[in-house]
Structure 1
């Protein structure tokens, strides 16, 4: 089976007899009394019931339905329910600051906002009441001032599924927003399902899902990656799914031990947070044959920790690079043998090669946009049939990133003669004498106590390093040894993990961090392609 109509995806899988068992780390916000163990049949019934709730709250064909709640897979169940009605779901992360969320809701003008009482209260305390720019508001955990509760809309049967053209808007997701207000990206059935999910719903050798796999996913379910993942994974029908909604090793460990995964997909930041589990003798990753990461590169110490934790004969790490607007553009594979030993020049910024037959990459001069020969660093452009339809409320910004038939990724990199691609920096975050990303990898390799290293480039000054440790402390001698042989850097700022502003995908919001530490936001890049 290949995915197509997301409004009836769960129904079709249930009718086919898909036996996948789904286990959650906590109940869905959509069904707080529904427990943590589901069959596909039960999920199909939950999606149909949710469609009835949304319809009773006022959502209908062609409407936008904004979904903003705590992180969990029911983001996608609610989205499928909206699609079933003929509406267009817009999945917005609850990690967004109230002011940012207000901007996105103003652009969307949804007919219905699906949220929680806690989020409504947080926004209202910041004088950013979401109800000002929405039609109706449905709070999943009970009524609130100006909002319906589930009991107000429960009991109405869902209308029959409503189809849409393959090129009509299907779903709206926002970009990570590391440099400011995220963009709202519109995908169609043809782009995100036909070109992305259907390509993934294949049992490829070694990296494809098998029927006996137990797949654990710890992602940000408000983003387009998981909407695509939901479509493909249900059609591939692994033996079991384990869904982790929180990057908490204490709550994740019992669930992973009870149902040891053979495949793991997680956010790079979540891999970092769960890394202590790899050091246990009977660790939860002992059966894993495949690790998958997207959104951002994973630093070498983390790659090594998980690959070594697996007792599989030859575990593989598949790293994808892409954007919300394009889907994956390149893939790279790491193994125990391919990773360089600690202390060697770090090599995690190699992005692999473009997806064969599906994407093309070109490197151009950032100022003239003229193509550069292989091996020269420049601005990465991409061509893919999976490119989204546009940005909501920002047509000019969308057009500014189009370069003829090519798309500007906003990343600086090198396309080597062997076809491989190396990422250097985001153009807006670049430094003048070094690659911030490559230097971060090197410093993390030299400082095992560092959970993360972030370099913030500023015009006319050496980059400011931010070192994240468990206790916010770093030995001065260890730092001097780590920066030996590197271009000049400022003295490090040492912080703990919660002190860094992050996106819903765990990425550091570099502009916000720069403002937090220096009171400035000017960078060396132009920001033209953010």
Structure 2
């Protein structure tokens, strides 16, 4: 029996069971002892990183904050840190510099491990690192920071095993609505994240490569690598969501399964119209984090040559892991009512969902309210925050939705993103994207008592006014809704490509 959620021990154990299974990235492993092509390679890389961490003085109980370019090697370093008994804290290099510094202070003098990209983010505060960090380690000589030591002197590390209740990983929330929260996961809570994912994989016919283009510091990626190592699914990590890079990776590896964040899939819609079609071999797509725009789901399901493709959606957050699951087939997207549905599926076994009003009273099916969940996968604690309630308590998701009579959950809005006069900003955005194919992105925000659609078009030109007004009316937006056109590149995004809606508002305004 493999140690399911032990990040430090699992790579070596998985190598014994299915060492020749592909496990690779689409770009080189620049700081590793070798480029990983298989599970066995990955285990060797993890052990080498562990030796180098040990040689640099990292010992059991230490915290190692990892800040580097997005790549699958983040997961190997994470496993190595756990292997030597330390606690990895995975921080996104795309985080706002001020938030990054805040997180390092919250970690109370961690070791900082970085590369050239991470060093560039930290360089404005390098004079403060001596007070904030126990030491600065680098994965490459280009990552020049004052006092930094390159991680290149190996020792012989000692393997540390962790009880299930011990902390094993620190990740952070996306920071969509404010400063990122640092979340501590134990071996047991991480296992509760992984178990339903393993069950899904084992219930399906996984044979070809499973490709993931995600933020590799997100807990979803940590549970993804645990799932791959446990099940022996061939795995490809795609480093950049840039459409050209993704197209090249998909045409080279021809994956059977493709997972990405919702806004990545939205950005890739144009790839579905290219020849050769990079999605032609996809049998299933996977998306978690938030509900997917129906236009995007429909575009991708129609793009593949597979006769019966499936789109698997999960809803959850960093604090809880996946809570619901929804499987949509190509034939389903033609059902009445599916076009603008925000259905995110039913609860995974062992997890519970309810919708309540402002007083905490449970609302009947079909009534919008605040979504709460109860799950054994909830994070153990938040660094710098009061103790969390027990896992038998209901956890507020900070989302607005409703439970249908059939048990499916519909997601309507983030609580902080609600706009007066708009029943659901998410549904309104779905309708606009369906009615106006030239929109590459649209986000509804409240501004100074009015409603604004912040929009990007594929060709950079405004939508014809008559077409806009027809789509606006169909989306249920007020007649005086204004449109703020801007390039897609100017949308403020988190590391998981969620739009920071509050940053589309002028200072001092509320929705």
Same fold per TM (> 0.5)? yes
Which sections of structure 1, spanning at least 5 residues, go unmatched? Answer: 524-530
Q: Deviations over 1:107-160 (max 9, x none)?
A: 11243111123433333336885444111111212162324343xx42423412
In the alignment, which residue of structure 2 is the partner of 1:455? 444
Confirm or deny: 8 A CA contact 1:271 1:302 kept in the other structure: yes
C-alpha separation between the residues in 2 aligned to 1:89 and 1:237? 24
Q: Secondary structure at the match of 2:285?
A: strand
Tell me, yes or no, if structure 1 residue 419 matches structure 2 residue 413.
no
Confirm or deny: 8 A CA contact 1:99 1:128 kept in the other structure: no
Confirm or deny: 8 A CA contact 1:466 1:495 kept in the other structure: yes
Q: Secondary structure at the match of 1:79?
A: helix
In the alignment, which residue of structure 2 is the partner of 1:116? 115
In the alignment, which residue of structure 1 is the partner of 2:159? 161
Q: Normalising by structure 2, what TM-score?
A: 0.93
Tell me, yes or no, if structure 1 residue 500 matches structure 2 residue 498.
no
Q: Deviations over 1:325-353 (max 9, x none)?
A: 111111112222221489x7743411111
Tell me, yes or no, if structure 1 residue 148 matches structure 2 residue 138.
no
In the alignment, which residue of structure 2 is the partner of 1:359? 351
Offset at residue 470 of structure 1 (A): 3.0
Q: Secondary structure at the match of 1:198?
A: helix
In the alignment, which residue of structure 2 is the partner of 1:176? 174
In the alignment, which residue of structure 2 is the partner of 1:237? 232
Q: Secondary structure at the match of 1:350?
A: coil
**Residue of structure 1 aligned with 2:395, choices 379, 400, 407:** 407
Which piece of structure 1 moves more, 402-411 or 7-16?
A: 402-411
C-alpha separation between the residues in 2 aligned to 1:127 and 1:13? 39
Q: Secondary structure at the match of 1:337?
A: helix
C-alpha separation between the residues in 2 aligned to 1:137 and 1:470? 43
Q: Runs of at least 4 residues of structure 1 off by over 6 A?
A: none
Confirm or deny: 8 A CA contact 2:68 2:92 kept in the other structure: yes
Q: Deviations over 1:368-421 (max 9, x none)?
A: 11221222111111001111111001116x45xx89711011111101111111
Q: Deviations over 1:52-110 (max 9, x none)?
A: 22222232111111111111111111110010011110101111111011111111124
Which sections of structure 2, spanning at least 5 residues, go unmatched? Answer: none
In the alignment, which residue of structure 1 is the partner of 2:8? 7
Q: Deviations over 1:298-347 (max 9, x none)?
A: 111211111111111110000000011111111112222221489x7743
Tell me, yes or no, if structure 1 residue 435 matches structure 2 residue 419.
no
C-alpha separation between the residues in 1 aligned to 2:107 and 2:16? 35
Offset at residue 175 of structure 1 (A): 0.6
Confirm or deny: 8 A CA contact 1:102 1:130 kept in the other structure: no
Confirm or deny: 8 A CA contact 1:120 1:129 kept in the other structure: no
C-alpha separation between the residues in 1 aligned to 2:126 and 2:42? 37
Offset at residue 46 of structure 1 (A): 0.8
C-alpha separation between the residues in 1 aligned to 2:338 and 2:418? 20
Which piece of structure 1 moves more, 44-53 or 466-475?
A: 466-475
- CA shift in 2, pair 1:120/1:23, >3 Å: closer
**Residue of structure 2 aligned with 1:310, choices 304, 314, 333:** 304
Offset at residue 513 of structure 1 (A): 2.1
In the alignment, which residue of structure 1 is the partner of 2:133? 134
Q: Secondary structure at the match of 2:199?
A: coil
Which piece of structure 1 moves more, 122-131 or 44-53?
A: 122-131
Confirm or deny: 8 A CA contact 2:316 2:322 kept in the other structure: yes
C-alpha separation between the residues in 1 aligned to 2:204 and 2:135? 42
Confirm or deny: 8 A CA contact 2:438 2:459 kept in the other structure: no
In the alignment, which residue of structure 2 is the partner of 1:94? 93
Confirm or deny: 8 A CA contact 1:298 1:348 kept in the other structure: no
Q: Secondary structure at the match of 1:38?
A: coil
Offset at residue 466 of structure 1 (A): 0.7
Q: Secondary structure at the match of 1:102?
A: helix
**Residue of structure 1 aligned with 2:314, choices 288, 303, 320:** 320
In the alignment, which residue of structure 1 is the partner of 2:375? 384
**Residue of structure 1 aligned with 2:214, choices 211, 216, 219:** 219
Q: Secondary structure at the match of 1:361?
A: strand
- CA shift in 2, pair 1:298/1:29, >3 Å: farther
